[in-house]
Amino acid sequence: MARTFENLEIDRVGTDGRVGRLTLNRPEKMNTLSQELIFELNDALHDLEADDSCRVIILRGAGRTFCAGYDLTPPRGPGDGMVRRHKFADDKGRRLVMGVRTSMQQVTDVQMYFWNMAKVTIAQIHGYALAGGCELAMMADLVTAADDAQLGHPGVRGLGVARNGLIWPLVLQMRKAKELYYTGSAISGKEAAAIGMVNHSWPKEELEARTTEYADRIANLTADHLAILKVNMNRFYENMGIYSSVRSSTDLDAMGQFTGEAYLWQDKVKESMEQGTGLKGALDWRDGRYRDYRAGK
């Protein structure tokens, strides 16, 4: 019997149900990536990888968005136990970089598995694919988006660096990749398709049907044959250094938690909590300088 999950939904679409579909199911939290969700996703992907009747996997989000990033609230539950095995602070309360780094690498392991699993994967983006949501989408083999979707990584604004699956240097021209990294700005699904960040963008009302049709066309080939084609294609990018680059990015993300900008962000979060505005107050401060995302909303 197939497993059920608290933060995910699984169904089948396409001809004879040969396309597996995973739905991130935390719509009240804009499908932000809690540790529980990340490790449930890992389990669900392993289940589908072992199922030969599943030829292609679509990953989408419930509600009004794909995924708005990592869940920045304190973790709890089983996922907490899996990630936070390592000491984050010493006896004086000072944060330890290797504890932060090791926990981040555990999340990277999940996303690198998504990159390399023996199934063709498609990320279907509507609404926002920001920060960790954009990282996750970029690890899929193929990406479709609504024309008005927003893709970007505002997390570079004081929270660290774009890591894990944000492999823009491999898929974008250097100038655009650097612009998106340095500003943390977002672009629309239509622009993302024009510059090669995603494969296709379609009107929002057509996105689900056209993505399913797209996946079903790929699924004409058997799962094992598609897996061989994927390994062959991925090997080229792996030889270009994707593993070492993603690992290095994760290390730098851990180091990024200890920069002047990161400490300024942490102070703003503390200040916002004390003033009763919560995380929203800190995010409004962060993005208000750029006049985008949440600023003033």
DSSP string, 92-119: TS-B-HHHHHHHHHHHHHHHHHHHHSSS
pTM of the model: 0.86
Whether 160 has a pLDDT exceeding 70, the answer reads yes
State the pLDDT at residue 74: 54
Whether 119 has a pLDDT exceeding 90, the answer reads yes
Query: 8-257 architecture in CATH?
Result: Alpha-Beta Complex (3.90)
CA Rg value for the chain: 19
Question: Among residues 289, 296, 297, which one has the least CA distance to residue 154?
Answer: 289
Q: How confident is the model at residue 295 (pLDDT cuts 50, 70, 90)?
A: very low
The residue type found at 46 is: H
d(CA 125, CA 146): 6
Whether 114 has a pLDDT exceeding 50, the answer reads yes
Question: Among residues 245, 56, 58, which one has the least CA distance to residue 143?
Answer: 58
State the pLDDT at residue 80: 41
Residue 296, number of CB atoms within 10 A of its CB: 9
Per-residue pLDDT tens digits for 15-28: 999 999 999 999 99
d(CA 69, CA 28): 13
Q: How confident is the model at residue 106 (pLDDT cuts 50, 70, 90)?
A: confident
Determine contact, residues 287/294, Cβ cutoff 8 Å: yes
Whether 86 has a pLDDT exceeding 80, the answer reads no
d(CA 293, CA 287): 6
- % of residues, the chain, pLDDT over 70: 92
Determine contact, residues 135/165, Cβ cutoff 8 Å: yes
Strand arrangement, sheet containing 142-146? 8-13, 19-24, 56-61, 120-125, 142-146, 200-202
Whether 68 has a pLDDT exceeding 80, the answer reads yes
Q: How confident is the model at residue 77 (pLDDT cuts 50, 70, 90)?
A: very low
Which tops the pLDDT comparison, 225 or 266? 225
Residues 6+ positions from 5 with CB-CB distance below 8 Å: 25, 40, 43, 44
State the pLDDT at residue 32: 96
Q: What residue ranges do the domains of the chain occupy?
A: 8-257, 259-297
Q: How confident is the model at residue 203 (pLDDT cuts 50, 70, 90)?
A: very high
Question: Looking at the chain, how many residues does it have?
Answer: 297
Tell me what the pLDDT averaged over the chain comes to: 88
State the pLDDT at residue 99: 78
Which tops the pLDDT comparison, 150 or 102? 150
Whether 141 has a pLDDT exceeding 80, the answer reads yes
Whether 130 has a pLDDT exceeding 70, the answer reads yes
State the pLDDT at residue 278: 83
State the pLDDT at residue 27: 97
Q: How confident is the model at residue 79 (pLDDT cuts 50, 70, 90)?
A: very low
Determine contact, residues 249/104, Cβ cutoff 8 Å: no
CA 62 and chain centroid, separation: 15
Range 143-150 average pLDDT: 98
Per-residue pLDDT tens digits for 210-255: 999 999 999 999 999 999 999 999 999 888 878 788 888 888 888 8
State the pLDDT at residue 93: 74
Range 186-193 average pLDDT: 97
Whether 82 has a pLDDT exceeding 50, the answer reads no
